[in-house]
């Protein structure tokens, strides 16, 4: 794979429900004329999910992709390092539930210039723009209000 801004990094956890993230990430990569890379960071909470990992691997193989697997209890930091290393131009994750928002928040702090698309359980996309675009939008909004 040739790293670059058209590389879409799909972050999954060992859960069968993450198949939707892979499928949506592939669509996003196609829309951007890019390539998709599937990444999972396994911490202590996911040690026994072999069936789920097999399901994800089947989806990855069916789509001629590869899945990079890392073992670390700091998934956001690990994902950020991998994103930098491969030159990801976009990141796809699930929509946070409970404390899952911590992963997104830390990822955004570490990679403020990479857009993040969160995929809901119904495959609805929620996109977080890069920090620079968000600041520009806020500035335009303030300027508009003062007119």
The CATH number linked to 64 is 3.40.50.620
Six-digit token pair at 62?
């069916």
In a domain, 2, yes or no: no
1 in any annotated domain? no
Query: 56: which residues sit within 8 A by CB, 6+ positions away?
Result: 12, 14, 16, 18, 19, 22, 38, 40, 67
At 143 the pLDDT is 54
* Cα separation, 103 vs 77, whole angstroms: 9
72, 114, 76: which is closest to 96 by C-alpha?
A: 76
The pLDDT profile of the chain, 147 residues, written as one tens digit per residue, is 445 568 999 999 888 999 999 999 999 999 999 999 999 998 776 666 788 888 999 999 999 998 999 999 999 999 999 999 999 999 999 998 766 578 999 999 999 999 999 999 999 999 998 877 665 555 555 554 555
Torsion of CA 84, 90, 122, 19, to 10 degrees: -50
Domains: count for the chain: 1
**Has residue 12 been placed in a domain?**
yes
* 141 inside domain: yes
Whether residue 19 is contained in a domain is answered as yes
Is the whole-model pTM more than 0.75?
Answer: yes
Range of the domain at 114: 7-146
Largest CA distance in the chain: 58
């Amino acid at each position: 794979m040739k790293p670059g801004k058209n590389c879409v990094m799909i972050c999954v956890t060992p859960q069968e429900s993450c198949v939707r993230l892979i499928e949506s990430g592939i669509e996003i990569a196609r829309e951007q004329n890019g390539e998709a890379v599937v990444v999972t960071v396994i911490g202590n909470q996911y040690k026994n999910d072999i069936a789920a990992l097999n399901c994800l691997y089947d989806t990855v193989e069916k789509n001629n992709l590869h899945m990079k697997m890392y073992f670390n209890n700091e998934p956001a930091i690990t994902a950020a390092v991998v994103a930098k290393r491969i030159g990801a131009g976009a990141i796809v994750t699930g929509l946070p539930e409970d404390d899952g928002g911590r992963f997104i928040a830390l990822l955004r702090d570490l990679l403020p210039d990479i857009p993040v698309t969160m995929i809901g359980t119904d495959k609805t996309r929620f996109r977080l723009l890069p920090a620079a675009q968000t600041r520009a939008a806020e500035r335009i909004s303030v300027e508009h209000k003062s007119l």
